Amino acid sequence: MLKESGKIQSICAVFSILFLLLNFYGLSSHATISYVADSSEENLIESCPPMGTIEYRGFTIRVENDAFAKTDHNYSHGLAFTSESYNIQNYLRTDCLPLPLRAHKRFFNLITPKIWFANESFNPISSIVIKIGQAIYTPTNPISNELILNDRPYAGLLYVGLSLHQRYFDPEANLEILDAREITLGVIGPLSGAKEFQDIAHDIMGDHRFMGWAHQLTNEPAIQVAWDKKFKNYRGISSTHEGFSADWIRSVGVRLGNIETSFNVGFEGRLGWDIPNDFGSFTIRPGTDSRPPDIVPVQNNKSTADIKNNSPHFGFHFFAITDLKFVGYNFSLNGNVFDGSHSVTHQPVVAFGALGMSFPTIIKRRGYNLAIMQVYQTSDFKERTEHHAYRSIALSVEF
């Protein structure tokens, strides 16, 4: 009992550290954008535009679980909370950002190939996204307390992420583009709280506990940097495509780190009524979300206030997603980097597919969106060949 209490206290301490990291990122609802921390740069304060504060326009809670597919193994559970700021005006300079965001931007400017960046003449609109989440992975056999050599390891991940999203219009290609760059920090192993969370959930539902958590990956820090881009044909500056319509979205992404190292390409098609002018649906991925800044003003006479008056209406749409991922490393399969652990051989190529529905609406001047999708993927390690399925449910609220 004392041992379990100590574990819970340790997990609470990790949550507290991650929460402090979010505050360190300067992401409270009243973080002053024009703040400059370094005394050597104090002379720049007067030249920074009076941008006010970083404020948040909404949040998304996303739950993923394979119990909906009547299984309880592989990627067994995912939970994530994200929140996104209102638009940051496009002429904001790096030296006018809060220190953590300034470091984030300079870091990506240093390591990102120039071909990735948008042309400055496109006047991108920016927003900030913060995320905290947990992922749980288990083998197929729940009752064995022995190490299962031909199945994936028990693994858990607890993480926070900070990303800068930029949305812009390329007039020559007639494309809207979402560019997302994220740093993810976290912990792999017992301090992720994966065992305790799963035990509590299974006790509540009356299910058996998994007995092999003594063989889970050991504690180690987790870090990942990620780049994602999404592309879609330009269809105006309204916040919805009114009436019955369809569109399709292309994506490309890169992830580097000891959470995952991979490259992916994907496509999404949408068909329905009053489809939002955004970049589609997505599953939980430590790396990036694809929620964009509000809208792209492509005409000089269109102000943010004008655009915000185009509020979304009640709508619904069906969507289908395909994604192909080329994997170099996956912590939940390849095991610990800094310590010896059980591992299996990851598949170098994994295919994903998803079918779902989304219901965006407004109630009392607040926007809501419920998105439900069933996700299917090919086997991600060679020791087992069966496919895997799970359901993803997300509720978004706009303030």
> Where is pLDDT greater, at 292 or 200?
200
pLDDT band at 22 (very low <50, low <70, confident <90, very high): low
85-136: pLDDT as tens digits:
888 764 456 677 777 778 888 888 888 887 787 777 787 888 889 999 999 9
| Predicted pLDDT at 286 | 56
- Note the pLDDT tens digit of each residue in 369-399: 999 999 999 999 999 988 999 999 999 998 7
pLDDT higher than threshold 70 for residue 347: yes
Question: What digits encode the pLDDT tens for the residues 26-61?
Answer: 444 444 443 333 334 444 445 665 555 677 888 999
By residue count, the chain amounts to 399
The mean-pLDDT minimum among 89-93, 177-181, 187-191, 300-304 falls in 300-304
Q: pLDDT confidence of 16, banded at 50, 70, 90?
A: low
- Predicted confidence at residue 19, as pLDDT, reads 53
Quick one: pLDDT band at residue 8, thresholds 50, 70, 90?
Answer: low
- pTM of the model as a whole: 0.85
Is pLDDT at 157 greater than 90 in this prediction? yes
Give the total number of structural domains in the chain.
1
Average pLDDT in the chain: 82
Q: Give 193-250 pLDDT, tens digit per residue.
A: 999 999 999 999 889 999 999 999 999 999 999 999 999 999 888 778 889 999 999 9
Ranges 46-55, 273-282, 324-333, most confident? 324-333
For residue 206, give its domain range.
Answer: 2-398
Question: Is the model's pLDDT at 159 over the cut of 50?
Answer: yes
pLDDT of residue 92: 57
pLDDT at 267 over 80: yes
pLDDT bracket for residue 139 (50, 70, 90) = very high
pLDDT at 263 over 50: yes
Q: 268-272, 328-332, 363-367, 391-395 — which is least confidently predicted?
A: 363-367
CATH number, residue 131: 2.40.128.140
